[in-house]
Structure 1
Amino acid sequence: MRVKRYVVNALPEAVSLIRSELGKDAVILNTKEIKVGGFMGMFRKKKMEVIAAIETNQANAPVQPQRAVNSQVDAAVEQILQTVQRTTATAVMDPPQPTAVDKEKLRNEREQFIIDEIRDLREYMVTLTKKQKQDSGMTEHLLALKEHLTEQEMDMQWIERLLQELLDKQEEEGISFNEEQVWERAFIQLEAWLKPYSGSGISNHVKVVHFVGPTGVGKTTTIAKLAAEQTIKHGKKVGFITSDTYRIAAVDQLRTYANILNVPLEVVFSQMDLPRAFKQLEERELIYMDTAGRNFRSELHVSEVNSLLQTTEPSETVLVLSMTGKTRDMAAVADHFCKYGVQKVLFTKLDETSVYGAIFNLIMNFELLPTYMASGQTVPDDIESFKVESYIRQLLRSNAS
């Protein structure tokens, strides 16, 4: 018999390794939670230790994918159930003798742990089966779409969901889509997903609009573009407030724009300065507030900025994100701000990238409402309202007609 030990994050991961290394007839002998790594006994991480075995004469047996999935599920579930029975019985008999209440609690905890593991395992196997089915129906045109969206950094969950939608449509219609049909149907599906989040813009009924976001995303220039649009095109009386006193020359930059547009500017250093600033600008129809760019991956900094966004006037907050940022970092920033009720987002520096999947991810994963898309430094021209069709054309532009 060949016995092998695996240390993994979760049981489904071990099942995959066992199937590939030992074959479909391998069985799980034991599972338990262990702690590894760390420093001087601290900061240790929880892992799963899985012991698996197979008869030596079966170790090299060929594996049929679908049969392996089914047999592995059955074998793993059976072995897990046997394991919990053995470990529960052992735990009850080992000294010191626990009370009846302790026994029951321990038994319940172990049983719940096993139930959770079995559920995770079944979900993993269902996902694996679906993926095998999806892969078997993939044409070269669907594969090209998948490759393109992966390069665009769209989350894999959305790519796979889109591909499944197209595969289902093919099956429904009894045809295999050609290249043009694949991209056309992808456009239609993406448009359907994004439509509920379109047409947001900045609300007409608010008086104060706060702009928040990391350092260097272009908040100040964006504010100048929007202020120019409101003053020149719509004739509104606009005012500026800035709390960006951390960045060198930040106040001077906004003051330059304020002078050009003939717009009053108030500088605040803390939340206590806000009543004075709003009093000075009480006759203004619209007030744009620029906040300091910080490390907004830190929830503490997000909380600090959030304290400056309190006002009795009708207001809303817009998160500004640069398309030159890393997708993972933008998601972390969005996650922190969403906890404080921020729903609107504005994307900048589209002219400095050719990767647009992050926009889709942020909208769909955090249910953010896109307002504007900005590119370039020209005030007020290099900004436009978010339009679903235009965005999807950018996302699919190398192949969309």
Structure 2
Amino acid sequence: MRVKRYLVDTVSEALPLIRSELGSDAVILSTKDIKIGGFMGMFRKRKTEVVAAVEGETSKPSKPRPTQQQSSVSIQKPQRPAATAAAAYGAAYESNSRGASATAVLDPLETSQAVERATFVLQQAASSDKLEQGQFNPAPPVVQDAMPAAPRVPAGGGESTPHRTELEHLLTTEIRDMKEWIMKLSRQKAVDSQPAALRLLCERLEEQEVAAEWIDKLRDMMVEMSEAHDEWSDSSVVWQHAAEIITGWLRPYEHGGIGSSERNVYFVGPTGVGKTTTIAKLAAEQTLKAGKKVGFITSDTYRIAAVDQLRTYANILNVPMEVVFSPNEVPRAFSSLEDKDLILMDTAGRNYRSELHVSEVNSMLNTQEQGTVFLVMSLTGRTSDMRIIADRFLPYGIRQVIFTKLDETTVYGTILNLMLEYGLQVAYVTSGQTVPDDISNFSAEAYVAMLLGEPAHV
């Protein structure tokens, strides 16, 4: 019995190969999906393994073998992407390692050609400056084929333009990925050569989910500060320099909070971030410490008991409250509180991934009573979700932020990411439910000390 193994994309591709090599009497013994090849664990391809057999040793393939003249002709094979070439090499290696009982899909010459193509593409990827514009179109070296290649369509009447464009796009994408991987390895090697204290600092920032962009920028600035790196052996010195740099980044975005001359203050934000509690804390602070006469307005009529919650705080603080159900009622509410020094308006918490909900809230704020708008966000939320919220409100000019629930998380990098990425100005941070104690003005120095923590021991 002759047994042969094929690696193909689909079972249907193996059928003509089986008939041509084993004859029409061959049967398929098994099929299974496997992953082969790849380069350094990357770009592995999914294939189907088909094992076929035919009785007897005298069965001959129905397709005649090529003549000596045909096999000696020099043919340039169609170029294959780098990942495909590397995958072919991996397939040949796996097949050879199984022993003589299994037939290799690629012969040694084809394996050598695959390695040559992969090496050629990698060399071009490392030196090409045109990858980002998609202008790279490498041509593999011409090789001599021991086996006949698939027929090629003559130039000028052949392969369709869409198919050729798709192959070029695939090749460009895979080469770009290889280049990024090589650059990543180079950066990692540079990081490994840096002092241990500096590496520990970067690891701390990664744990705090600080974006890689700001970690790399901080590392580069600190390396430029001391080329000898002698002082970087002391962790406390490294932490001190890092704190100074990050504090310098954030200090321009500190917001002083509610000023003495401000009268109308609005609060917007998603559901459940603590807007109502934050308003109560600020009202108590302004009433007890600043001696101002405060009034409440709420449009949060969507959430059950939201009005009752704010009314409870209003009764405790002995301040009046107005409820509005539409933008037309907002001027009336402000008119009722015209004798107050400070008016704090609570808005409905909605799904701000929806542009419609954002415009609804903005219509409440777009009245003749201008004032400061604070975006309230919880630090227990995901950074990606906070970016979406910031994107929704930035077009309306809202950049003042209050971060809540500081006590419910141990990861603080989100604040730095949003401040530097969007230019948000942080006014307050809250850290509990106690009114009015659990709120404080944002301080860059205090925040950085919390972000970096204690210096790590080398």
TM-score by length of 1: 0.73
CA deviation after TM superposition for structure 1 residue 57, in Å: 3.3
CA-CA distance at 1:320 after TM superposition: 0.7
Give aligned-pair identity as a percent. 47
- Give secondary structure in 2 for the equivalent of 1:239: strand
Give the letter for the 1:167 counterpart: V
Match of 1:13? none
- Provide the residue aligned with 2:420 in structure 1: 364
- Counterpart of 2:126 in structure 1 is 73
Letter in 1 for 2:221: E
Amino acid at match of 1:56: T
Task: Decide whether the 8 Å contact of 2:300 with 2:346 is kept in 1.
Answer: yes
The residue number in structure 1 matching 2:389 is 333
1:265 aligned partner: 321
Q: 1:236 and 2:292 equivalent?
A: yes
* SS of equivalent residue, structure 2 residue 396: coil
Task: Tell me by how many angstroms 1:144 deviates.
Answer: 2.0
Residue number in structure 1 paired with 2:361: 305
Q: For 1:220, which of 240, 255, 276 is the aligned residue?
A: 276
Aligned in 2, Cα 1:21/1:347: closer, same or farther, shift over 3 Å?
closer
On the 8 A contact 1:198/1:370 being kept in 2, the answer is: yes
Q: How far apart are residue 163 of structure 1 and its match?
A: 2.2
Alpha-carbon shift at residue 136 of structure 1 (Å): 3.5
Question: Per-residue displacement from partner, 1:279-322 (whole Å, max 9, x unpaired)?
Answer: 11122221111011111222222121111111223311101111
> Which of 102, 111, 114 is equivalent to 1:56?
111
Structure 2 length-normalised TM: 0.65
Residues 118 and 205 of structure 1: is their aligned pair in 2 closer, same or farther, counting only changes over 3 Å?
A: farther
Structure having the higher Rg: 2
Distance 1:362 1:276, change over 3 A: same
**CA pair 292-175 structure 1, distance change in 2 beyond 3 A:** same
Aligned residue type for 2:126: V
- Structure 2 gap segments, 5+ residues each: 1-7, 10-37, 44-76, 90-109, 140-153
Aligned counterparts of 1:318 and 1:328: Cα–Cα separation in 2: 20
Kindly indicate whether residue 79 of structure 2 is the aligned counterpart of residue 29 of structure 1.
yes
Aligned counterpart, 2:335 = 279
Query: Does the 8 Å CA contact 1:30/1:80 hold for their aligned counterparts?
Result: no
SS of the aligned residue for 1:289 comes to strand
Q: Say whether the 8 Å CA contact 1:239–1:288 is kept in structure 2.
A: yes
Give 1:147 deviation, angstroms.
Answer: 2.3
Q: Deviations over 1:337-373 (max 9, x none)?
A: 1122110100111112211111111111111000011
- The aligned amino acid for 1:187 is A
Q: Displacement, 1:30?
A: 5.8
The residue type paired with residue 221 of structure 1 is T
Letter in 2 for 1:237: K
User: Which residue of structure 2 lines up, in the alignment, with residue 170 of structure 1?
Assistant: 226
SS of residue in 2 equivalent to 1:244:
coil
Matches within 5 A, 1:46-195: 52=85, 56-57=111-112, 71-74=124-127, 80-81=136-137, 124=180, 127-128=183-184, 131-132=187-188, 134-171=190-227, 176-195=232-251
SS at match of 1:210: strand
Q: Which range is displaced more, 132-141 or 292-301?
A: 132-141
Moved more, 210-219 or 121-130: 121-130
Distance, in Å, in 2 between the alignment partners of 1:20 and 1:163 is 29
> Deviations along 1:81-124, whole A, 9 cap, x unmatched?
357xxxxxx9997799xxxxxx9xx9xx99xx89x979977984
How has the CA–CA distance of structure 1 residues 391 and 94 changed in structure 2, closer, same or farther, with 3 Å as cutoff? Answer: same
- Give the drift of 1:20: 6.2
Amino acid at match of 1:29: Q
Q: 1:176: how far off?
A: 3.8
Alpha-carbon distance between aligned partners in 1 of 2:255 and 2:364, rounded to the nearest angstrom: 28
Equivalent residue letter for 2:428: Y
| CA distance 1:21–1:270, change in 2 (3 Å) | closer
Whole-angstrom CA distance in 1 between matches of 2:260 and 2:176: 48
1:249 pairs, out of 298, 305, 315, with 305
Q: Distance in 1 between matches of 2:223 and 2:258?
A: 38
Separation in 2 of the partners of 1:259 and 1:366?
A: 38
Could you tell me how far 1:206 is from its partner in structure 2?
Answer: 3.0
Task: Name the SS of the counterpart of 1:373 in structure 2.
Answer: strand
d(CA) in 2 for partners of 1:213, 1:129: 41
Q: CA RMSD in A?
A: 4.3
Superposed CA offset, 1:148-172 (max 9, x none): 2222121222222222222333326
Number of paired residues? 353
How many angstroms apart in 2 are the aligned matches of 1:376 and 1:321? 14
Bigger relative contact order, structure 1 or 2 (CA pairs below 8 A, ≥6 apart): 1
Change (3 A) 1:228 1:168: same
Distance 1:391 1:91 in 2: 66
Structure 1 stretches (4+) deviating beyond 6 angstroms?
Answer: 58-61, 90-96, 116-123
